[in-house]
Structure 1
Amino acid sequence: MTDSNGQQHDEQAENTTYMRRIRSFVLREGRLTKGQQHALDTYWADYGLTYQSQPLQLNEIFGRDAKKVLEIGFGMGKSLVQMAQAAPESDFIGIEVHRPGVGACLSEAVAQQVKNLKVFEHDAVEVLEHSIADNSLDTVQLFFPDPWHKKRHHKRRIVQSDFVQLLRRKLKPGGVFHMATDWQNYAEHMLEVMLAAEGFTNLSADNTYVERPEHRPLTKFEQRGQRLGHGVWDLMFKKES
């Protein structure tokens, strides 16, 4: 899941195109633990994917033709590893820019003996634009992205119309974009953007939010929020055929 607390942002991007301004992360420094550095040094060859300007052949990389699930901003990676472990019939791809999180994810994947997982350490928008083929993903997950809660910063939220259409290209017909947030205003923003997006159908029976599906692990953060009475909103939209 993407970090909600970092405050640094590259203001120089304001003068580039819209899609270049919207990024999947807030760049901040993070100190690697010895264990995280060891995981990066030792396990990257097995789990790491390198960003490139041409689409990767995911079936060749995983050695099979299986459902492909991509998560944007997996944080420390524990829930991503848990999902991959629970669904060995699917292949999982994680994208995260913060090295400590990538190292922690690799360490957890090895500890849990998860084999159906690969990760990028790169900006998700660039990965999706260039390294992921069109019509290749069954699911895209975006859990707890930076809400940019101040109104003047709402334009920096990753869920915007252009980004959604990028995901539409990458999803297979019938593929699902699954979002979750603990900020009600961002949930409302996501719903507004998705309802206006061409080529998607809301999987909610009442055209709003869905109950948390069992395949999305309940994090410690969520559990604490529930005890404090905080809400969490899940949205799931299917790409039309």
Structure 2
Amino acid sequence: MIISMNNFFFKKKNDFSKSIKSYVTRRRNIKIRNIEYFLMCWNMYGINVDNVQLKLSDFFSLNQLYIIEIGFGDGQLFIEKALNNPHINFIGIEVHLKSVLTAIKYAYINNLKNVKIIFHDAVEVFIYMIPDKMINILQIFFPDPWFKTKHHKRRLINNFFIILILKKIIYKGFIHIVTDCPLYSKQIHDLFSLCSRFRRVFFETAMAPLLELQGDTKFKKKAFLLKKNIFDYKYQVIN
């Protein structure tokens, strides 16, 4: 017997606005014999979706740097980063159920205390749940490029998103974006160039070691295999 897991990740029926999504997901179910295990893991590592700002001290035992990663892929690298950096609190935002389940499984196996996961659309999470001036580093590695011109409106990184994250990243905090899509790269460069509050950086800052926290994702490996250029953007909030 199988059962849908989607409803387990929501505190209540939300009233999030309907908007253009930067992703497409398939409906995922899970065998009922695994429900108790995954719910136990989720209760330890998940943050249920709500339209109320988070009080992060309720979720993390230590007050330390916060890194948010949007779209953490299969979840294993994301958990490895948290495991290797216990001095940082990691929040992962993901819309693919399989990735979420993998991440919480590895977090539980490693008994991590510095990682939480949100299973929802990142834009709505940032609008309703993430407090202002909270993020030290925001990571977005290989966002969906939406190649077709008619689909460009679905790209995560646009003017609205830049204005939104500017409210959430602390002064002198960072956003780190990596893509292998030349057209998306140009869009990212052009959009951030128009915002004077972001300054592009090239590892001359004291937080450079933290900006190295990327790892070889399957998308990065695929890009190398296909000999595609990888475009790496790091910006700091300067005023």
TM-score bucket (shorter structure): 0.7 to 0.9
Listed as ranges, the matches of 1:1-241 within 5 Å are 21-32=19-30, 39-204=37-202, 214-241=212-239
Counterparts of 1:36 and 1:171, CA distance in 2: 37
- Do the aligned partners of residues 193 and 109 (structure 1) sit closer, same or farther apart at CA in structure 2, a change above 3 Å counting? same
Structure 1 residues 197, 213: CA separation in 2 closer, same or farther (over 3 Å shift)?
Answer: same
TM-score normalized with structure 1 length: 0.82
Question: Tell me, which stretches of 5 or more residues in structure 1 are unaligned?
Answer: 1-18
Q: Find the aligned partners of 1:166 and 1:140 in 2 and give their Cα distance.
A: 12
| Contact kept? 2:61, 2:113, Cα under 8 Å | no
Judge conservation of contact 1:97–1:123 (CA < 8 Å) in 2: yes
Q: Corresponding residue for 1:8?
A: none
For residues 36 and 213 of structure 1, the distance between their equivalents in structure 2, rounded to whole angstroms, comes to: 36
Q: Deviations over 1:160-180 (max 9, x none)?
A: 011111000011111111111
Partner secondary structure for residue 173 of structure 1: strand
CA 1:63 to 1:197, structure 2 compared with 1: closer, same or farther past 3 Å? same
Cα RMSD (Å): 2.4
Amino acid at match of 2:148: K
Deviations 1:74-113 (A, max 9, x none): 1221121111112110100011122111101111222333
Identify if the C-alpha distance between structure 1 residues 64 and 213 changes in structure 2 by more than 3 Å, giving closer, same or farther: closer
CA distance, structure 2, for counterparts of residue 135 and residue 41 of structure 1 = 31
Runs of 4+ in 1 over 6 A off after TM superposition: 33-36
Closer, same or farther in 2 for the Cα pair 1:198/1:30, shift >3 Å?
Answer: farther
Q: TM-score, normalised by structure 2?
A: 0.82
* 1:32 to partner: Cα distance: 4.1
Amino acid at match of 1:151: T
Aligned mates of 1:147, 1:224 — CA distance in 2: 15
**Secondary structure of residue in 1 paired with 2:68:** strand
Query: Partner of 2:174: helix, strand, or coil?
Result: strand
Query: What is the total number of aligned residue pairs between the two structures?
Result: 218
1:49-93 Cα offsets, whole Å, 9 max, x none, are 012222111123202211011111112211211111121101000
Contact 1:39–1:103 under 8 Å retained in 2: no
Partner Cα separation in structure 2 for residue 53 and residue 31 of structure 1: 25
How far does residue 224 in structure 1 lie from its aligned partner after superposition? Answer: 3.7
On the 8 A contact 1:37/1:103 being kept in 2, the answer is no
Partner amino acid, structure 2, of 1:199: R
Relative to structure 1, is the Cα distance of residues 38 and 75 closer, same or farther in structure 2, using a 3 angstrom cutoff?
Answer: farther
**How big is each residue's C-alpha offset from its partner over 1:16-70, in whole Å with a ceiling of 9 and x where there is no partner?**
xxx9534342232345478975652220110010122221111232022110111
Percent identity over the alignment is 30
